[in-house]
Chains A and B, each alone.
Chain A
Amino acid sequence: MDGTVAAAMPVIEVEALEKRYGEVHAVRGVSFSIPAGSCTGLLGPNGAGKTTIMRMIMALVQPTAGALRLFGKPPSALGRSMRERVGLVPQEDNLDPDLSVRQNLEVYGRYFGLPARTIAERVPRLLAFMQLAERGGAKVMQLSGGMKRRLTIARALIADPELIILDEPTTGLDPQARVLIWRRLLDLKREGKTLLLTTHYMDEAQRLSDRIIIIDGGRILDEGAPKDLIARHVRGHVVEVAKPLPRGFSEDGLERNDIGDAVLYYANDPAEVTRRLPADAAYLRREANLEDVFLRLTGHSLRQGE
């Protein structure tokens, strides 16, 4: 009985959630709901309020106003049982530097009150899943950035959570390391886990998320499937023309966005723009992506402030 109710119920429901730190209004009335078994990406630049939202969901920060429900109940009412069902991958590295890779998982399992037998059975499986099997005895300090992240994800999986919250899971990693993590996160989604991740990489959001929530300045600007967001806000193609613009080039009737050293033109058919350009003009043509959506919605780039 409980199972059917849980399946129909959103895992996270957030209504008019607000957080103020003194003068700073970090989150200004955010509402969304996350269905079970989906991957939702919170996309926004640094300081958009993503981490604060996640910390409120984990009951690590008290909201100033608004309602929050996890598995259908306020986190305060769930208490310990809520923590047992959620795995958190925080943004900053807080692996235990005094312990080995394997011990990090074993000790973490005990924090969840797991029996020794369950821990002994899960640890090698998680190490293998995150491709750390050969590094079990290594010290955390000997690991590369990508391995540390993988260990942090393995650690979050120790209690077999229904919901996994990842705060910028691949920030600062090299491309190979990111691809490996993406593959594992997609595996988890396939297993039916619910994923909520924050990112300021649009490729990451696009690749992993069924649905994206774009936030900036503590507010939701829009949400939807990546494809729908692109269709809604930008035309299919982007032609980027470097400044200074070629002489005699007419922008009349084109959708444009000035990004400083270049101008972006949005068009369903790139030829609409390119045929107006002189033959020797330098330009870049590509398909529109979430970065363009973000730019259209906020007027600034995702990477600002980095």
Chain B
Amino acid sequence: MSARASLPAVNRYSQAVWRRNALVWRRLIGPSLTTNVLDPLIFLFAFGYGLGAVIDRVGGMSYLAFVVPGMMCYAAMFAASFESTISTYARFSLQRTWDAILATPVSLTELMLGEMSWAATKGVFSASCVIVVGSLWGGVASPVGVLLALPALALGAICFACCGLAVTAQAKSWDIFAYFFTFWVTPMFMFSGTFFEVGRFPWFVQAIAWVLPMTHLIAVVRPLTAGVAVDPLAAAGHLLYVAALAAAAFSLARWRFGARLFG
């Protein structure tokens, strides 16, 4: 069978994994929608009255226009990271869902693709909630730009999901996820330009910030939603970095899971 002929089949099997997670999540859609809409509302309220009153304009735009795209990226990052670590590890280890799936025609790579694409879906869903709330609040200057930002957010969510899987593949217990949040999620929250410009930090913080995929994602999404001119070459560079990191993280995760499961 040629690779071309087997490609649709690959999609079918990873889709089955994606659909399993979607089916479970469907029951939780109410609470999930509520938190995904309320979270950015609380942020916007607090920052609008707190920081917004102090900071007038950041990077040539209103603080609201600055912070809303940051929150879109943060929402995508947090949801995809949580799903690909804590939730995936529960299915891998606690519930033994992975064992049951690997006894079927679904291959490990397809199983991982299913988990990864589901985590990315949740990331895009969370980001979309911020888009809706942020637009209604008046924080999105360019409606066209925000549509263009969606594929970038999706790529970002894929990258965060792949990085999460790479960590889950190392996990022997839940302890590792505490480090994951402290050394990966929180720095992306604080130093990647969600609330402040990256350029305000000392050089060594900036150096770390530009290693994090979140910084590159925000660098693409923010000018798009604010309706500011985008340098296509710079944007391509940022997206390429995010895509490369995703591929590297997924390969690492595949190699580690393979060694653990079939060794």
**Chain A residues within CB distance 8 Å of chain B:** 58, 60-62, 80, 83-84, 88, 90, 92-99, 103, 107-108, 110-113, 155, 159
Contact = CB atoms under 8 A, between A and B. Distances in A.
Contact of B105 (A84, A90, A94): A84
7 tightest A-B CB contacts, nearest first: A94-B96, A110-B16, A111-B104, A94-B100, A83-B105, A98-B24, A88-B103
Interface residues of B, number: 24
Interface of B: 9, 12-13, 16-17, 19-20, 23-24, 95-97, 99-107, 261-263
Nearest to B16: A110
A107 B104 contact: no
Nearest to B97: A96
Given A90-B100, A111-B104, 20 more contacts: A60-B102, A60-B103, A60-B262, A62-B263, A80-B107, A88-B103, A93-B96, A94-B95, A96-B20, A98-B95, A107-B19, A107-B20, A107-B23, A108-B100, A110-B16, A111-B13, A111-B16, A112-B104, A112-B105, A113-B12
B24 A111 contact: no
A93 B105 CA distance: 19
17 contacts: A60-B261, A62-B263, A83-B103, A83-B104, A88-B103, A92-B99, A96-B100, A98-B24, A110-B19, A111-B13, A111-B16, A111-B17, A111-B101, A111-B104, A111-B106, A112-B105, A113-B13
Contact of B95 (A84, A97, A107): A97
Q: Point out which of A80, A107, A111 has the most chain B C-beta atoms below 10 A from its C-beta.
A: A111
Contacts of B96: 92-94
B23 A99 contact: yes
Contacts of A95: 100
Nearest to B9: A113
A97 B103 CA distance: 17
Given A99-B23, A99-B24, A110-B19, A90 B104 contact: no
A58 B262 contact: no
Contacts of A108: 100, 104
A81 B97 CA distance: 21
Nearest to A92: B96
